């Protein structure tokens, strides 16, 4: 669940920090998962780009004078961008086979193995027990934001090869200098194979790109 106070985590960190402006009217607690709102840092909201673990508490719900809400940038939060969270609570962690699985955050205090709508944080480096695991995070090692699989259903069979659809169509229609009769016959007989061929090539590309995307996000 979302944090309501600072928390203590058992974790090891490398010397990799960054500072970000804090969004207006938010309260970032120490060791919270910090996300990017699109304009500034905030307590992570599911789907945010993960920035790291908050090194300090920053309360921007009030300004320095105590006369109102802090504006974006009134406070700066330093975040730890790399480390291992030991014995972290991870919803869905259930067996030693979870080693290496991607871990996501659903808010500024909750880790889960559920990817849908959540923010990629890191991966399991050691399974401890049901719901408990060591989690390694490195913001620089996370997948680029916005990469998603190519959607759509294409006909054809994927066999790992690309063919020259134009050459196949030309051969059907009589080569480079077809007669009028060959053109007519070619159009009649080649349209369906051409459509099928183009779809198969697109499906090959879609399948390969989705495999690349999956590998990047792994």
Residues 114, 54, single domain; the answer is yes
Tokens of 206: 């879609």
Residue 99 lies in a domain: yes
Residues 21, 126, single domain; the answer is yes
Residues 136, 178, single domain; the answer is no
Residues 58, 137, single domain; the answer is yes
Residues 75, 37, single domain; the answer is yes
Residues 74, 116, single domain; the answer is yes
Residue 40 lies in a domain: yes
| Domain hosting residue 213, numbered range | 165-217
Please compute the mean of the pLDDT values over residues 8-20 and round it to a whole number.
77
Query: Would you tell me how many other CB atoms lie within 10 Å of the CB of residue 177?
Result: 6
**In a 10 Å sphere around its CB, with 0-12 CB exposed, 13-18 middle and 19+ buried, how is residue 145 labelled?**
exposed
Say if residues 34 and 77 touch (Cβ distance below 8 Å): yes
Residue 90 lies in a domain: yes
Is 80 exceeded by the pLDDT of residue 70? yes
Q: What is the pLDDT of residues 81-109, one digit of tens each?
A: 999 999 999 999 999 999 999 999 999 99
pTM: 0.68
Distance (Å, whole) CA 142 – CA 44? 16
| Residues contacting 60, CB < 8 A, separation 6+ | 22, 23, 24, 25, 26, 27, 28, 69, 70, 72, 74, 75
Q: What is the pLDDT of residues 145-157, one digit of tens each?
A: 555 666 677 666 7
Q: What is the pLDDT of residues 107-154, one digit of tens each?
A: 999 999 999 899 999 999 999 999 999 999 998 877 555 556 666 776
Residue 147 lies in a domain: no
Q: What percent of the chain has pLDDT over 90?
A: 52
Residue 201 lies in a domain: yes
Domain count, the chain: 2
Residue 150 lies in a domain: no
């Amino acid at each position: 669940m979302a944090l309501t106070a600072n928390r203590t985590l058992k974790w090891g960190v490398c010397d990799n920090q960054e500072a970000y402006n804090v969004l207006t009217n938010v309260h970032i607690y120490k060791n919270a998962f910090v996300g990017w709102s699109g304009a500034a840092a905030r307590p992570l909201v599911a789907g945010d780009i993960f920035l790291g673990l908050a090194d300090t508490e920053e309360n921007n719900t009030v300004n320095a004078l105590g006369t109102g809400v802090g504006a974006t940038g009134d406070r700066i939060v330093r975040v730890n961008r790399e480390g291992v969270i030991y014995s972290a609570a991870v919803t869905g962690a259930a067996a030693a086979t979870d080693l290496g699985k991607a871990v996501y955050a659903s808010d500024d205090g909750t880790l889960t193995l559920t990817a849908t709508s959540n923010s990629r944080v890191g991966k399991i480096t050691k399974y401890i027990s049901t719901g408990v695991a060591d989690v390694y995070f490195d913001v620089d090692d996370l997948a680029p934001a916005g990469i998603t699989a190519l959607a759509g259903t294409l006909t054809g069979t994927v066999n790992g090869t690309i063919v020259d659809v134009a050459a196949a169509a030309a051969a059907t229609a009589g080569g480079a200098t077809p007669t009028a009769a060959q053109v007519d016959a070619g159009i009649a007989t080649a349209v369906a194979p051409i459509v099928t061929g183009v779809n198969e090539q697109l499906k090959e590309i879609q399948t390969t790109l989705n495999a690349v995307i999956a590998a990047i996000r792994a």
